[in-house]
Each structure stands twice: as structure tokens, then as C-alpha cells.
Structure 1
């Protein structure tokens, strides 16, 4: 059965489940496999629970006309999702990058939602399973889609763009993350650049940070370019949307304007007070403004969306507790994002300052080197107190207090009861620092 035929079957049963514990009546079960599970083993069980059909890629002992065998269930899942996406002639914005892609996606969603019905990636559904699930949420009611794509190995973005087929998009930035999978910073650039490859080859618009030399080099290497919409903080004449930080006390306040050098037009500055911590979020704001501008969102509504966006996903959040002021960025950490967070915390005019930092994962052979660089940044920052979590920090030269894991940190908090402090909490998700705010 080819994809066209399978999709016709999906149209008759428009619900695909990959979890045998959740089998709505009349749905289609698709047997995915992972390191510790094999969906093929649960195909018959899914049929018994209410699925009309089960798609498998292994022979099942008890044959059934409701078992549909394919060569590769994951590839079939992606192919079906692409076929579903092709039913909708709407803008699909593709987003990837080392840092800031989820925040940027949420800001773009907020801006576009002022005028359109937007379907956007939920949570961290940005991999080769999450992207198809996202695409299957598309309905005739949606005007535009925003699809986030993550990567940890070469070729990941190529696979995802060939599934989602975005017709415009942006890379937030490229940095030293997942080096164990990519092999090098050049590997990061090549993989993230697969979004540019797709957009350039299909003559699709690209939104790009004009001030990011790596992104500019990547787009220039691709020769003939589609429409480029530049944003940034510099005075480059070809920037369409320009912004400047006004203050970070502690929330980011910035101003922005539209400019067209060829037409000699420059709009008045517009000031926006956000609920995000960190000057590094200005680039994310400018990206959302640019996407909104190109999609005809009025300036007032762009500003309204950005002023009212409140993060709820452990990214750039300031949380006030009875005891402390917490700056929570505990979902992810790599050398680039860690430096940005520390630089911003250092510039904040608050005191006393305490940093609780978790390890940075998936750095491979350069892990010790990159963790040592963070120690140097901390020494220069001269925060009032620093706690470091994870064996990666315990292996490098440091005079700061270290903990093997989050449980040791919890014990120290219970005993010492820190109070009256501004506390930055940042680390890789695997360190579980997101468990700390409830205790502080």
C-alpha cells in the first residue's frame, strides 16, 4: 500500500496513535520502535482496544486484514505527515537553531495569533516523531503553522524539513551544542543550515539576524538567494527591523523600528516592556516582529503580543517566591546559552546574586574544556555565591562549591534555607534543576 492509499485510509480514520495505551475507537495504530520498546509487539492489543487498523513493519504471528505492513513505520509516519501537510495551502514557518528556538517559536505564535488561527509546535515535539505529530494537528481552521525543528546529529534537519516542507523560516543562531553528536561546530552549522538548503532550493523567504556572522556566512555560501528579511541591532542599511535594548531591570525593555534604506523611510521608535529576562532575548523578539511584519500584523498588535507574552516553560522566567527571586532557565544548557545567561545575570542591577548551574551535556571530547571556560566566566563575574551541579564540574579546576547531583543540592537548600537572593538556575534538563524552584 503506497502513501496515497494509506492517506486515503487516514482520511477515513483521522486519528493516528503511537501509544498502545491510548487507542481511541476507530483510530490507526502506528508501531514505532525505540531503544527500549517495539510497537509491533502491541499491534494486536491496539486492535483489540479499538483501533481500526495497525501499521507495522514486522511480521505478526496472528495475521489480520487490519494489519498493514510497511518497510519502515517511522518513515511511513513522516511520509503520511508530509502528505497531510500538503493538503493545506498555508504559510508554514520553519524554525531551528542552537538556542532560543522554542522562545522564538512562542513569540512568533503570539504575534501571528493577533490576526490568524495559528498551529504551532507544542512542548518539545521537535524531533522526527514530534514534527509528524505536530503536522497531523493541522486542520482547515488554521491560517498558518509554526514548526520547530531540533537536531542532535548530522542530517536531522534535512529529514525534518523534507517532512514539514516549510515555505519560509529562520535559524535563531548556531553554537557549540550537541558536539558529541555533530562532531564539531562546523557540523552544527552544516546541519542547521539544512533549513537554508531547503528554503533556498525552493525559493522561499528567509528571516535572518543580520548581525550574526555565522548565519550570514552560511546564507552567502548558498549562492543565489531568495527573499531575505534582515533584523538586528546594528546600523546596517539593509536591516528591515532594527532594535535596541532600553533596560533589563530585571525584565527586558527594548525599542524597535521599521526602516527601508532604499526608500529613505524610517518609522518612529516603538518601546516594548516584556516579561522575559535577558538582553539575549532581543534577537528573539526582533525575529518575531519581522515574521509578524511580513505577514501583515499591524505594529500595535505586534507590540501587544510581545508585551503580554509570559514564559511558562522554564525559559527566561523570573519567579518571585516568599524567600527569593528566581531566574529559571533550567530546560537546556550549552556553552553559548550558558555564557549568554551569565553575561546577562552579571549586568543585572540586583543583589545579592547566587548562581546554581548544572552540567552541560553532550559535549564529547571538549566537555572538560567548555566547563572550564564557564568556571573562568564565573570567576570574572564575581557573584556572591555559586553552586555547581554534576560530575563535569567536579572534574575541572574550580574553587566553587560543587554537588554531584540535584539531590545533594536539595539537602543543602533544606539545611541552609537561602533567602533574599536573586538566584539564577540554569543547566541541562538531565540535571533536574527544574525541581529546585519549589524549594527556594
Structure 2
């Protein structure tokens, strides 16, 4: 439900916040919350109509008022025929105004805010940070992956006087987007989990990805703290820049040179990760409820951010061990017949695919490892090379079978053959269901099956097919 009740505004406050024009109603009229969805709008809320390529929220202003909206925003000249009822503030751009309204609301509160972005691991790190902070204080954590120009403002509008801390996720696929999100959330701690070749269709190079992520640090300024991976060469550039402008940096990683490091990283037969975390002069054992060695790095990022906000080591460990992560992100499930499913179907990029392949190969033990991989999207001119690299990685890993779905991932199967994967071990399919059927014919008790692909590939269909 896209409605947030914590943020109340008078009509004159809305007009001021969004640099709009109050064209109907009185300045003292009030809205009790904000909604972008006329279907779930509650009586007394402000309706913000958002327009997209296939819809126009202005078509639902009448419905919103009939449902009890206290007021609404509208594009210039778009509200003249609306029924009598609440107040109307006209603006140049309702999406931009939603962000301005959230920024105004953020300014009502003096509290530490953690912003999390990164090519991989941002949702996991955000969930971990939220779990740690909630151990010691009332914390607002953004839901799911609501991290864009609509989702992030709505999350910020959820801030209330009861909150002592907040953590928000930020996503992007174009330059300037992180900067705008940072303007809205005004973070005091910035976490960048990684910089990898993603969204290259809109950015062009990994250096451009780095610079786009770095907008978070630029917007935060020298009064904040940057939490960065200490063994990421692109993030090292961001660290140097931030220090040069007077900012403070905390690094995390596996090496002892970092401010926070993980030692003795282990993975159980079911994939759960454990390690010893070192923060300052303290050290404790942590057992994560998530799969994959790389998640130790996400845990370190979360620990660094939380420690900066004053969380003691015992709260950090407890929060990490209790964090609940979203579905389809390296979730382990035992299927009928003793086959293990590694469900990482939510999304994919070259780096995360390689990490997932490494993970399933480590987990297989005496069994065999299958990978069912769908196309990786938004790679632009890098697409062919990236998919071929996946094929080479699959052939070079201890992977037993590769099933690909989609025209781009076909290149991975072809490259895997060229790199030495035996005939019949790497096959191309037109749908997730066909790939799943091929796997089901071959998988035996003790085998592990990885499912992964970009969101638009809907690789969870392979998961459902394997579940039967």
C-alpha cells in the first residue's frame, strides 16, 4: 500500500515544500499522510498523482477526492475540472514534488540516517543494518527494495517522532539519480557495498558506475561518514576523493588492514556463513542466517554503519544473526528427492552471477552442481562480453551442468563449450520451465541447483517448476 501516515502537512506547508501554487482551498487545511495510489488512499491523505509511460495518475484525482483525500498535487493546469473537496497544489512535476515533500519532511527530524547503495548486496546490507539498529532504538527501515524516485520518498515520509534512527536503500541506473535520492534522505552515514559492471546500458563504463555511486558521498559532504569496501579498487578511488574533501572513511573487508575485518570465514553444508568479526578492540563469533561467503562483507558493512551510530558489539552480533532477508536472494530449500535449491532468482549481474556459481560449487560437496541462468539485462555494449565471461567462469568452476535461458545467455553456453565444458553439460532453452525440466531429468539426491537471472527474466518460474 503506497500510503504513509507519519507525514502530516497543512496546505501552505505543501505549497512551500514543493514550490507550488495553492489553486484551491485554504492554507490551514491539513492532510494526515501521503499516498500515490488512489485505490489504497485513506481518508484525510494527500494524493500525489504519478505519471508513467502507460498511465497517468491525474486520471484518478476525482477518485481520490471521492475516497476522502484531503488534498492533492497536480501538474500545472491539470486540476481545473476536479470536483470540490480538498485543497489542490499545482506543480511543474508531481514526481519531483513528491521528492521535495519528502525532503521537507526529513528536515523536521534531527536523527542519524544511513543510506545504502551498491552494485551488489545493498538490500542485504540494508536489512542487516536495520536489524542491528532495531536492537537498541526505534528504527525506520525502508521496505523491500523501494529505492527509487517513488519508493525512497515514500519511505522517508514514514518518519515519525518515535524514530531514533533510519536506514534507506538507494538504487539507480542513470547518472544523477543517487544525488537526488541523497538530497531527499539527507544521510549522515553512507554505505557503498560494491561497485561492479551493472546498468552499463545507461552508464557506459564501470568508472561511470563508480562515479554515480559516489554522488552519495558528494551530496552527504564532509560532515558524514563513508563506509566502503577496503579491497574494491573502484571504491578506493571514492575513499581517496572523500578523504580529500575532508570526509571520514571506514573500510571493511577480509584483510586486517581494514577498520572492520572478518577472520576465519566458514560456510556450513547448508551454506550458512560464520566468521569472527573484529571491531576496534573487540572480537566475536557471528553466524549469519544467509548463504555465501560474500555475505560476510555485507555483514561487515552493516556492522561498520551500526558501530558508527553507537551500537555495541553484542547488539551488532545479535542483529546480524537475527536479520531476515528478502526472498529469492540465495535462499536454500530442500526439494523432494533430496535435491537442494539455491534460489537467487531476484536479479543478476556479471559479478553476482560469478559469486553465485562459486557458492553453489562450494556447497555441492559429494553431489553435483547445476546452474540455471537467465539473461543479464541493462549491460549495453558490454552485453556479449559479460555473458561470454559467465560461460568461461562456469567452465572454469567446478560446475557440472549449465542450463541457460534467453538469447544473451546463449553466449554463455557457447563459451562454456569452447572453454572445455563437455557436450551435453551446457544447454540452451527458450523458457525457465524448459530449463527446469532438463535439470529435473538429471538431478539426483545430494545435488545442488542454482537459479539466477535478471528480474525481467522471471527465473522464479524455474523454481516453481522444480518444486512441482
Normalised to the residue count of structure 1, the TM-score between the two structures is 0.92
CA distance in 2, matches of 1:155, 1:9: 34
Name the counterpart of 1:48. Answer: 66
CA distance in 2, matches of 1:311, 1:121: 13
SS in 1 for 2:39: coil
CA deviation map 1:289-326 (0-9, x unaligned): 11222222222222122222343321122122333211
- Could you list the per-position Cα deviations for residues 22-45 of structure 1 after superposition, in whole angstroms to 9, with x for gaps in the alignment? 231121111111111111122122
Structure 1 residues 23 and 272: CA distance shift in structure 2, 3 A:
closer
Q: 1:149 aligns with which of 138, 160, 170?
A: 170
1:429 aligns with 2:455: yes
Q: Distance in 2 between matches of 1:173 and 1:331?
A: 18
Equivalent residue, structure 2, for 1:112: 133
Q: 1:97 aligns with which of 108, 118, 121?
A: 118
Give the structure-2-normalised TM-score: 0.86
- Tell me how far apart the structure 2 counterparts of residues 424 and 11 of structure 1 sit (CA, whole Å): 55
Q: In structure 2, what is the Cα distance between the partners aligned to 1:63 and 1:281? A: 51
Find 2:237's aligned residue among 217, 226, 229: 217
Give the conservation status (yes or no) of the 8 Å contact 2:47–2:64.
yes
Q: What residue in structure 2 maps to residue 272 of structure 1?
A: 286
Which residue, 312, 318, 339 being the options, matches 2:354? Answer: 339
Q: Distance in 1 between matches of 2:402 and 2:347?
A: 19
In the other structure, the counterpart of 2:6 is: none
The counterpart of 2:382, out of the listed 355, 366, 370, is 366
| Stretch moving more, 61-70 or 32-41 | 61-70
In 2, the alpha carbon distance for the partners of 1:124 and 1:96 equals 11
CA distance in 1, matches of 2:259, 2:29: 42
Task: Identify if the C-alpha distance between structure 1 residues 245 and 277 changes in structure 2 by more than 3 Å, giving closer, same or farther.
Answer: farther
Q: Do 2:144 and 2:326's aligned partners in 1 also have CA atoms closer than 8 Å?
A: no
- Would the alpha carbon gap of residues 194 and 357 (structure 1) be closer, same or farther in structure 2, given more than 3 Å must change? same
Secondary structure, counterpart of 2:132 in structure 1: helix
2:394 is matched with 378
Secondary structure of 1:392's aligned partner: coil
Provide closer, same or farther for how the CA distance between residues 331 and 113 of structure 1 changes in structure 2, counting only shifts above 3 A. same
Please give the alpha-carbon distance, in whole angstroms, between the structure 2 residues aligned to 1:204 and 1:325. 44
In 2, distance between residues paired with 1:428 and 1:254? 30
Matched residue, 1:262: none
| Number of the residue aligned with 2:186 | 165
1:203 match? 223
Q: Which moved further from structure 2: 50-59 or 4-13?
A: 4-13
Cα gap change, 1:75 to 1:228, in 2 (>3 Å): same
Instruction: Tell me if 1:247 matches 2:266.
Output: yes
Which moved further from structure 2: 180-189 or 12-21? 12-21
Deviation of 1:409 (Å): 2.9
Provide the secondary structure at the position in 1 that maps to 2:146: coil
1:13 aligns with 2:31: yes
Q: Which piece of structure 1 moves more, 327-336 or 148-157? A: 327-336
Kept after mapping to 1: 8 A contact 2:433/2:462: no
Instruction: Render the CA deviation track for 1:30-61: whole Å, top value 9, x for unaligned.
Output: 11111111111221222122212221104245
Mapped pair 1:402 → 2:418: no
User: Residue 204 of structure 2: which of 174, 183, 186 is its match?
Assistant: 183
Corresponding position of 1:392 = 408
Contact 1:280 1:344 in 2 (8 A): no
Of 350, 367, 372, 1:356 maps to 372
Partner of 1:303: 317
The 3-state SS of whatever aligns with 2:51 is coil
For structure 2, the residue ranges without an aligned partner over 5 or more in a row are: 1-10, 18-25, 418-425
Other-structure match for 1:315 = 329
Per-residue CA deviations over 1:207-255 (Å, capped at 9, x if unaligned) read 222222211112213422322222222121xx32221243112221111
| Uncovered stretches (5+) of structure 1, i.e. residues with no partner | 260-265
Secondary structure at 2:275's aligned position in 1?
strand
1:51-62 → structure 2 map (5 Å cutoff): 51-57=69-75, 58-60=77-79, 62=81
- Structure 1 counterpart SS, 2:145: coil
Structure 1 pair 9–333 and aligned structure 2 pair: CA distance change class (3 A): farther
